[in-house]
Amino acid sequence: MSNARILVFGNEKGGAGKSTVAMHAAVHLLHQGRRVAFIDLDLRQRSLARFFSNRVQWAAANQKTVPHAVEPFLADKPARLLEAPEVDAKRAFDRALNEALEADFILIDTPGGDHVLSRRAHAAAHLIITPMNDSFIDFDLLGEVDPVTLDIRRPSIYAETVWNSRKQRAVWDGKSIDWIVLRNRLAATEARNRRRVDEKVHALSRRVGFSVLPGLRDRVIYRELFPFGLTVTDLSPEVKPVALTMSHVAARQELLALMQSLGLENTTTEAVA
């Protein structure tokens, strides 16, 4: 029996922050001494895989010790899975997931748009984490809003994907899937828009069954360390491709609060030395 917890980062909208939140969650867990495996199902962009490959290269070139995640074998050329027959793609994914089961956490990043492997990953999740930008364009994939009254008419395309995953999962093993939506790239200046989107997200959360978390502000530090394969959580007197500033300290706090509310804060075992 595996105790691996499977986290799927999903939202059919591209640019919502799936890969960004996945990287930050992975690094947070690694610093907690957790074994982390990842599967990058964004077979074209491979941002999460690129992040971890940058991390290995940066650490080796600079002779630094940082904790690393493992990537189970998916395919020699992952992008080819996009054209592969469905059974072959599913087999490759199942094999990778099986290989990852020794980890404490398996993080699966998914592409914008619908794909058979993305659906399979969603159905295998313990927890689906959906970042969304603070925008009605992003909300539209979760729920359809009446243009006159701004009332929610019905759950829309991505909410349906999650609904179908939950149904499939209930048939597979009778288990349920938790779903968390978090707002990403929040701007300090958009209080009115935020309040409106907030209201809709909360109303929809009750209807389709997800929890809402406060999420992350838009901050340069969440994107500028990508070429090094690092996040602000890695920064220390040893590891400092950029100097730590007060705004970085605020970002670390914000991330920590998010990880705590995602239930990813380790309270039982010791952190990595």
Please report, as a single letter, which amino acid is at residue 46.
Answer: R
As measured in angstroms, the least distance from the Cβ of 111 to ligand ADP is 8
Closest CB to Mg ion among 102 and 218?
Answer: 218
Which residue from 194, 229, 158, 227 is spatially nearest to 9, judged by alpha carbons?
Answer: 158
As measured in angstroms, the least distance from the Cβ of 15 to ligand ADP is 4
Determine the interface stretch with Mg ion among 15-23, 64-72, 149-157, 200-208 (rule: CB under 5 A): 15-23
Q: Does 194 bind ligand ADP (CB under 6 A)?
A: no
Q: Does 108 bind ligand ADP (CB under 6 A)?
A: no
Q: Does 39 bind ligand ADP (CB under 6 A)?
A: no
Helix ranges (DSSP H) in 32-109: 47-62, 86-100
Q: Which of 19, 133, 184, 231 binds Mg ion (CB under 5 A)?
A: 19
Residue nearest to Mg ion (CB): 19
Cα–Cα distance, 64 to 58 (Å, whole number) = 8
Q: Does 17 bind ligand ADP (CB under 6 A)?
A: yes
Q: Does 115 bind ligand ADP (CB under 6 A)?
A: no
Q: In angstroms, how far apart are the furthest CA atoms of the chain?
A: 59
Q: Does 18 bind ligand ADP (CB under 6 A)?
A: yes
Phi, psi of 117 (to 5 degrees): -75, -35
Residue 38 binding partner per list ligand ADP, Mg ion, none, with a CB distance cut-off of 5 to 8 Å that depends on partner kind? none
Contact call for residues 106 and 7 (beta carbons, < 8 A): yes
Residue 185 binding partner per list ligand ADP, Mg ion, none, with a CB distance cut-off of 5 to 8 Å that depends on partner kind? ligand ADP
Closest CB to Mg ion among 152 and 258?
Answer: 258
Which residue from 226, 234, 217 is spatially nearest to 32, judged by alpha carbons?
Answer: 234
Cα–Cα distance, 201 to 217 (Å, whole number) = 17
Cα–Cα distance, 234 to 148 (Å, whole number) = 47
Q: Does 184 bind Mg ion (CB under 5 A)?
A: no
Contact call for residues 134 and 193 (beta carbons, < 8 A): yes
Report the first-to-last Cα separation within the chain, whole angstroms.
29
**Site map 222..261 versus ligand ADP, x via CB under 6 A:** xx--------------------------------------
As measured in angstroms, the least distance from the Cβ of 30 to ligand ADP is 18
Phi, psi of 156 (to 5 degrees): -115, -155
| Residue ranges binding ligand ADP (CB under 6 A) | 14-20, 47, 112, 184-185, 216, 218-219, 222-223
